[in-house]
Amino acid sequence: MPDKNEAFDVNNIYKEEDRLSKPDYLDTLNEPQRQAVVYGNGPLMIIAGAGSGKTRVLTYRIAHLIENGVDPFRILSLTFTNKASGEMRKRIEGAVGTEARNIWMGTFHSVFAKILRIEARYLGYTSDFSIYDTDDSKSLLRSIIKEYNLDDKVYKANVVYNRISGAKNRLVSADDYINNAVIQADDEAAKMKEIGRIYKTYVTRCFQANAMDFDDLLFNTNVLFRDFPDVLYKYQHKFQHVMVDEFQDTNVSQYLITRKLSAVNRNIVVVGDDAQSIYAFRGANIENILNFEKDFPDVHTIKLEQNYRSTSTIVNAANSVIARNKSQLKKETFTVNEEGSMIDVIKAGSDNEEGRLVATAIFEEKMQKSLKNENFAILYRTNAQSRSFEEALRKLGIKYRIIGGQSFYQRKEIKDLLGYLRFTVNQRDEEAFKRIINLPKRGIGDTTVARITVTAAENNVPIWEVVSNIANYATGRTITQIDQFGTLIKSFMLMLDAGKDAFEVSAHIAKTSGLLRELYEDKTVEGLSRYENVQELLNAIKEFVDSEENEDKTLSAFLQSVSLLTNADEPDENEDNDRVTMMTIHSAKGLEFRNVFIVGLEEDLFPSQMMLESRQDLEEERRLFYVAITRAEQKLSFSYAESRYQWGRLKMCEPSRFLLEVDAKYLNISQSFQREISREGSSSSPMSFVKNLSPRRPTEPRPATAASAHTPTSDFVPSDTHELAEGDKVEHSKFGFGTVVKMDVNGTDRKATVKFDKVGDKTLLLSFAKLRIVK
C-alpha cells in the first residue's frame, strides 16, 4: 500500500497506485455523510435533501467499496438519467481509476436492456430485439385501433398508450388487465372497454416484431426473474451490492427488480428525497419508501440535511414552499452558507418580452460579476417555452444549449436512417418497416403497405417473409418495387454477416439507400441541416465503434445503446461548453448552477393545468417547484409573462400561485408589486388583454413593421411578425383558428393562413404564416 503522505499528483489522478494516496476524503465529509459512506453490509436508506452532497456520498461509497476489495463487476448502481450515471462514473473513475468502467452502472432501462439482451432467448426474443420508442408504440397502437375498426376519436393512441404503460408499470399483464374487474369497470366508464383487447394484440405484435417498448424493458425483466429462477440466481449472486439513486422516483416494477436482485446479499442502498419526487405521473410511488422499510425491517436510515449548495436565502425560500405540502417525511434541511442576494422577480408583458428581459439580465449579470455563460440556467415547465429565450439570447450573442425537447434522435431524418439500420438488424421490426418502405419514394403507398402487413398477420408469417417472397403474395407492378427493396435490404444483411462493424454498415446504408442523396439534393436551409444531422449520426456511430469502452461494435449493439439515449446525450457538438443551459425542470434534477432563472411562472402553466385536472396533485407540482429552486447556488430569479402565445393563440396569464407561496421576505420586490401579483389584484378581463398588445404599452415597445403601420388598426391588432406590404387589404372570410383568407396585395390574389382571435367585440389578427401567391 502506498504511503499516505506521498505527494498527490493531479496529473496522475487516474493511476491506480495513486488511488489510496489521495487526501483522505473521509475528512471532507460531515458525520452523517461519513456514516453513509462507510456503512457496512445490510440494507441502508439515505434520505438526502437537495444539495446535501448526495452524489458525493454515493461516489465515495462506491469508491470505498472498491478500495475494500469489492469487485466492480459485482456492483450494480442504478440511476434515472444517462447524464447522472455518466457523471457518477466519471467521478468514481477519478477516485479509483479505470476499474470504475467495470461497474454495472446506468439507468434502469439501459442496465436491464443489457441483461435482457444477454438472456433474450429465455423469453423467446433474439438478442437483436428492437426497442420501440414512444412514437413507434403509438403508431403501432394506431394501426391496431384501425384494424379493429374502432373509432380513433374515442380510442386515442395517446390515452391507450398511457393506460397500457400504467398497467405494465404496475406489472399488470394483458390477461390480468382483461380479467381485472376494477380496471374493466374503469374502461367501461371511459367508454373504452376494448383497451384490454388492444393491449393484448399490442403485446403480441411487439413480440412478433421482436421488439420491446420502454416499459417492456422493466416488465420483461420481472418476467425473466419470476419465471427463470436460474437466471435470477445468477444475477442475485453476481451483484454483491445494489444501489438505487433517486429512489423516490422508482415505480413498482423497478422496485421489485431491485428487491429481488438484493434478496440474497441484502446489500441494498437506496438514496432519495421524498420532497423531490416528480415522476408520479410515470408510476413512481412514494410508498416504495414505506414498502422498503417493511421489506427490510432491519434497514438503517441516515438523513443528510445540511445543504452545501445554496445561499440561505435560496434554501429558506425553498423550505417555505415545500412546507405547504401535507405529505412528507420529517426532515429539516438547513444551511450555514451566507445569506446571498434576494430573489428577483421579473414581470413581462409577453413571452417574447420575457425572453428579452431574461436574456438582458443574464447579459448584465455576466458583465458585472464577470461570469461565464455556463453559470446560468433557464428552467421551464414545458419544452415549448424555450423559443422566446432562444431568440433573445441569439440576438445578444449569448451562446446556449437546449437539453431535451426535440432531441437529436427524434428528428425525422435521424429516425429514417435508424429505421433502415433497425430493419437490417431485425427484419421483423414492423414499425421500422413502415417507416422506410417508401423512403425515398419508390411508389409504394399506404395501400400496399397495409396489404403487406395484413397478409403477414393473416398468414401468421413475419413481414419479411412476405417481402422477400413477394411474388407469392402479390401481382403486377408492385412486385418489382418490393423486390428491389428486398434485394437492397438483403445486401445490407450480407454486410452484417460478413462481420462489418456498425460504422461500415451504416455508412454504406446511408449511401446506398438513397437517403443521403435525397437530402443532399435538397438545397433548402432545412435540407442542409438534415444532411448535416445524418452526417453527425454517422460520426456518432464512428465514435461508438472507435471507443475503447465498447467491446461489441456490431450495429445491433449500437442500436441498443442509441435507443435509450434520449434527451441529454446529443452527439458532442464542438467542445465549446460555455453555454447557458436551457431545459425543463424535470431534466434539471440532479444539476446545479450558479444563477438560475425559473421562467413562465404563470397559473395553469406552472402549476400545470393538466396536472391539476388529471391527477389533482398540486403537491407534485409544488415539489417540482422545490426542485427548480434548489438548483440555484448563488442567485435565483423568477419571471412571468402577462400574455403568451400558446399553439397559435394569445392567452392571458395570471401570475402563478407559486410566486405567492414563496415567503415574501426573500423576494426582491416592492409591496405594491407584491400586491399586484397577488390573485386579488390581477385582472383577467379581456380588456387588459387588448391593452397589453397595444403599441402604446410603455413596457414593451414593439418594433414598427410595415404591417403594423398599414393594417387597418380599428379591426386588427398585429403581432410582431407580418409580411404585408404597403397598400395591403385584408379580408377575412370567417373567424377562428387557421382560417384561410383572401387578400389583395398589389393587385395579386394571395392566399394565407392567418390566425384570429376574438376578444370581446374586437377581432384580433394574431399572425400570418405561409404567405404565398395563388395563381
Partner DNA sequence: CTTGATTATCTTTTT
Partner DNA sequence: GATAATCAAG
Dihedral (C-alpha) 528, 529, 531, 535: value to the nearest 10 degrees? Answer: 140
Dihedral (C-alpha) 716, 717, 719, 723: value to the nearest 10 degrees? Answer: 40
End-to-end CA distance of the chain: 85
Q: Do 167 and 177 touch, CB atoms closer than 8 A?
A: yes
Residue 463 Cα distances to 82, 139, 445, 456, 556, angstroms = 34, 17, 16, 5, 20
**What is the torsional sign of CA 525, 528, 532, 534?**
positive
Q: Helices 412-425 and 502-512, interaxial angle, to 10°?
A: 120
Residues 681 to 720 in contact with DNA, rule: CB under 7 A: none
Q: Do 634 and 311 touch, CB atoms closer than 8 A?
A: yes
- Is 156 among the residues that bind DNA (CB under 7 A)? yes
600 is in an annotated binding site: no
* C-alpha grid cell, residue 531: 444532411
77 is in an annotated binding site: no
Binding mask 504-533 for DNA (x = CB under 7 A): ------------------------------
Q: What is the DSSP string of 397-465?
A: T--EEE-SSS-GGGSHHHHHHHHHHHHHH-TT-HHHHHHHTTSS--S--HHHHHHHHHHHHHTT--HHH
Q: CB under 7 A: which stretch of 107-115, 335-343, 390-398, 591-599 binds DNA?
A: 107-115
Residues 193 to 222 in contact with DNA, rule: CB under 7 A: 214-215
Active-site residue 191, yes or no?
no
**Which residue of 108, 255, 503, 597 would you call a contact of DNA, by CB under 7 A?**
108
- Is 737 among the residues that bind DNA (CB under 7 A)? yes
Whole-angstrom distance, CA of residue 450 vs CA of residue 87: 45
**Which residue of 587, 643, 656, 711 would you call a contact of DNA, by CB under 7 A?**
587
Q: Do 650 and 644 touch, CB atoms closer than 8 A?
A: yes
Binding mask 611-640 for DNA (x = CB under 7 A): x--xx-------------------------
Question: Exactly one of 381, 623, 631, 644 is catalytic; which is it?
Answer: 631
Q: CB under 7 A: which stretch of 273-281, 299-307, 336-344, 656-664 binds DNA?
A: 273-281
Nearest to 205 by CA among 250, 235, 240, 164: 164
55 is in an annotated binding site: yes
Active-site residue 276, yes or no?
yes
- Is 643 among the residues that bind DNA (CB under 7 A)? no
Question: Exactly one of 213, 246, 569, 620 is catalytic; which is it?
Answer: 246
Q: Smaller CB distance to DNA: residue 110 or 337?
A: 110
Q: Do 594 and 585 touch, CB atoms closer than 8 A?
A: no
The H or E element spanning position 388 is: helix 386-395
Q: Smaller CB distance to DNA: residue 712 or 738?
A: 738
The 3-state secondary structure of 104-121, one letter per residue = EEEEHHHHHHHHHHHHHH
- Is 738 among the residues that bind DNA (CB under 7 A)? yes
Whole-angstrom distance, CA of residue 431 vs CA of residue 429: 6
- Is 566 among the residues that bind DNA (CB under 7 A)? yes
- 473 contacts: CB under 8 Å, gap ≥ 6: 452, 455, 466
Looking at residue 237, what DSSP letter applies? Answer: H
Q: Do 207 and 426 touch, CB atoms closer than 8 A?
A: no
**Which residue of 26, 396, 687, 769 would you call a contact of DNA, by CB under 7 A?**
769
- Is 550 among the residues that bind DNA (CB under 7 A)? no
Q: CB under 7 A: which stretch of 67-75, 86-94, 535-543, 565-573 binds DNA?
A: 565-573
Whole-angstrom distance, CA of residue 437 vs CA of residue 220: 30
- Is 82 among the residues that bind DNA (CB under 7 A)? yes
Q: How far is the CB of 122 from DNA (least distance, A)?
A: 22
- Is 748 among the residues that bind DNA (CB under 7 A)? no
Q: How far is the CB of 220 from DNA (least distance, A)?
A: 13
* C-alpha grid cell, residue 716: 386588427
**Which residue of 109, 205, 530, 635 would you call a contact of DNA, by CB under 7 A?**
109
Residue 647 Cα distances to 405, 463, 644, 718, 753, angstroms = 16, 39, 10, 17, 14
Q: Do 140 and 132 touch, CB atoms closer than 8 A?
A: yes
Quick check: helix, strand or coil at residue 616? Answer: coil
200 is in an annotated binding site: no
Q: Smaller CB distance to DNA: residue 215 or 633?
A: 215
Q: How far is the CB of 690 from DNA (least distance, A)?
A: 20
Whole-angstrom distance, CA of residue 332 vs CA of residue 338: 18
Active-site residue 311, yes or no?
no
53 is in an annotated binding site: yes
Residues 274 to 313 in contact with DNA, rule: CB under 7 A: 278-279, 281-282
Q: Smaller CB distance to DNA: residue 94 or 166?
A: 166
Whole-angstrom distance, CA of residue 264 vs CA of residue 81: 27
Question: Exactly one of 18, 19, 33, 55 is catalytic; which is it?
Answer: 55
- Is 151 among the residues that bind DNA (CB under 7 A)? no
Question: Exactly one of 128, 136, 245, 353 is catalytic; which is it?
Answer: 245
**Which residue of 42, 94, 166, 404 would you call a contact of DNA, by CB under 7 A?**
404
**Which residue of 33, 55, 107, 513 would you call a contact of DNA, by CB under 7 A?**
107
Looking at residue 471, what DSSP letter applies? Answer: G
* C-alpha grid cell, residue 291: 414498502
Residues 373 to 392 in contact with DNA, rule: CB under 7 A: 381-384
Q: CB under 7 A: which stretch of 26-34, 303-311, 442-450, 461-469 binds DNA?
A: 442-450
Active-site residue 246, yes or no?
yes
Residues counted in the chain:
775
Q: CB under 7 A: which stretch of 69-77, 330-338, 447-455, 512-520 binds DNA?
A: 447-455
- Is 471 among the residues that bind DNA (CB under 7 A)? no
Q: How far is the CB of 252 from DNA (least distance, A)?
A: 14
- Is 444 among the residues that bind DNA (CB under 7 A)? yes
Q: Smaller CB distance to DNA: residue 303 or 356?
A: 356
Catalytic (active-site) positions: 54-55, 245-246, 276, 631
Binding residues for ATP: 48-55
Task: Report the interface residues with DNA, using CB under 7 A.
Answer: 80-83, 107-110, 134-135, 142, 152-153, 156-158, 214-215, 278-279, 281-282, 381-384, 404, 406, 412, 438, 441, 443-448, 451, 478, 564, 566-568, 583-584, 586-587, 608, 610-611, 614-615, 645-648, 721, 737-738, 740, 751, 753, 767, 769, 774
